[in-house]
Structure 1
Amino acid sequence: MITLPLADYRPQHFALKVEGKVATITLDRPERKNPLTFESYAELRDTFRALRHEDRVKAVVLTGAGGNFCSGGDVFEIIEPLLERDTKGLLDFTQMTGDTVKAMRACPQPIVAAVEGVCVGAGAILAMASDIRFGTADAKVAFLFNRVGLAGCDMGACAILPRIIGQGRASELLFTGRVMGGEEAERWGFFNRLVAADALVEEAEAMARRLADGPTFANGITKKMLHMEWAMGVDEAIDQEAVAQALCMQTEDYHRAFHAFANKSKPVFEGN
């Protein structure tokens, strides 16, 4: 059970730091390159679900410890036990992992992924499901599913990845499972920017603070519309954006921005 405020919560399967309006989640099994387990999947899912009701946290950073982001599902703690499950047990697992991505996309806070070193399998999915991705030149991103005999359509990859890097490039990565290096990932648009390793988390947290200091109610609407409009035609999207923008025009932040502009000062947003 996730307790609120999130600053008081002590997760069992990753590290969590809340400073001001920014929460930093660090996958923290560096000796194994931060693999995921059944328990860490569930706790990540529950944490991102809790963020929907957390008013104090306005932006999130997701990263890994020890020079790597995430090596995917733990071979001996996930992959081997799955060999013994029946169809229902397997579906329970795949739906839980998918629910983790759903929770990341549904929480209103922007998620900034800070990706260094190994970022493969489910780790690549977590980076993909974030809103903004900073990486290092030596990052190694791979959607490895076909290399273990599985389809590339895992946890929303076939829906989300083409929208980030394009259909052809996504098809290549999902069919081959090959590694995409950091510079290629930045060139293809998977990474928003490349950052030196020793400044990676600092830069990601700086971006998160910048977002957290913005009109966060409106940021949440932007994230929701970016997600919803994948399944809309252009006319429907324009109509829905008209409703969303009219709602934002009723916020105090909108009024603060006008009065600050009129007074030639910088607006101080409060997220309401």
Structure 2
Amino acid sequence: MRYLPGEPHQLPRGRNSLGNYQPEHFLFTVEQGVATLTLNRPERKNPLTFDSYAELRDLFRALAYADDVKTLVITGAGENFCSGGDVHDIIGPLTKLDMPGLLAFTRMTGDLVKSMRACPQPIVSAIDGICAGAGAIVAMASDIRYGTARSKTAFLFTRVGLAGCDMGACALLPRLIGQGRASELLFSGRSLGGEEAERWGFLNRLCAPEAVLADAQAFALQLAQGPTFAHGITKKMLQQEWNMGVDEAIEAEAQAQAICMATNDFHRAYNAFVAKEKPAFEGN
């Protein structure tokens, strides 16, 4: 169907709703376009298991087709974000796997990060307490990070005899905090306190522990009420332009912005400006 100026066009059929999704290994709710994903094993500081890794990966893949989720907040139950891979449910069994099994696991965990970066929704992590190992990776792979002064982020892989190059850490972390600082954290495995994490640029904002989730959700709601199709384009370009030269990036942005200029939201914004009103974006 050809788009005509002044005639709202529609998204193609076949998209999904995740509002009623009932996960097995974490909590998930959707309200006003904002999904909140809660890692929910507070008695163990919310570690991940083989099954929760896989379910998280599949959920983020499904988000690419979810028309009722505009933004997503990740948090942890209790007073911690995520302690990483469960020592008993993951670390122990890994010592008994052969190389094909180990590679299948590391590829699966990497696929979680790929799916987080590929989904069009902005992801905001609300980080309190322990944020370690795979938990630090999930925070790193998010688009925005709200934290607390008492949060402790650590890329612990070297502490268990592994390399720091896990789940994209050597590619993503230097882009957030710089090569030298990323090298220090990935070699040492030391904890990064909340105030230091904000100074280094890992955390976007420090919040009070009792307010960090609400603050993250409020920011996510603000994004959800904006031009969400355009937000998805912004996220895609932030990802893709890492591997582009400047001239190539400028051309890619020209094409991306031209696409956004053909959306209903662009016309809504113009009409609202003329009428001296606030635009009501609908994400198409």
With normalisation by structure 1, the TM-score equals 0.98
Structure 1 residue 20: Cα displacement: 1.8
Alignment partners' CA distance in 2, 1:32 and 1:79: 15
* Off by >4 Å, runs of 4+ in structure 1: none
**Does structure 1 residue 228 correspond to structure 2 residue 240?**
yes
Taking the TM superposition and a 5 Å limit, the aligned residue runs for 1:115-154 are 115-154=127-166
2:115 is matched by which residue type in structure 1?
Answer: A
2:196 is matched by which residue type in structure 1?
Answer: E
- Tell me the matched-pair count: 270
Aligned to 2:77: 65
Structure 1 residue 118: Cα displacement: 0.1
Alignment partners' CA distance in 2, 1:4 and 1:45: 17
Taking the TM superposition and a 5 Å limit, the aligned residue runs for 1:1-272 are 4-272=16-284
Alignment partners' CA distance in 2, 1:127 and 1:149: 22
Deviations 1:79-126 (A, max 9, x none): 000000000000000000000000000000000000000000000000
Structure 1 residue 262: Cα displacement: 1.1
Structure 1 residue 4: Cα displacement: 4.2
More helix by share: 1
RMSD, aligned CA: 0.8
Deviations 1:23-72 (A, max 9, x none): 00000000000000000000000000000000111000000000000000
In structure 2, the gaps of 5 or more residues are 1-14
SS of the aligned residue for 1:18 comes to: strand
Q: Check the 8 A contact 2:73/2:123 in 1, yes or no.
A: yes
Alignment partners' CA distance in 2, 1:79 and 1:195: 33
Deviations 1:213-249 (A, max 9, x none): 0000000000000000011111100000000000000
Q: Identity, % of aligned pairs?
A: 70
With normalisation by structure 2, the TM-score equals 0.94
Structure 1 residue 5: Cα displacement: 1.8
Alignment partners' CA distance in 2, 1:250 and 1:226: 21
2:121 is matched by which residue type in structure 1?
Answer: Q
Alignment partners' CA distance in 2, 1:18 and 1:258: 30
Alignment partners' CA distance in 2, 1:205 and 1:166: 28
In structure 1, the gaps of 5 or more residues are none
Alignment partners' CA distance in 2, 1:167 and 1:235: 24
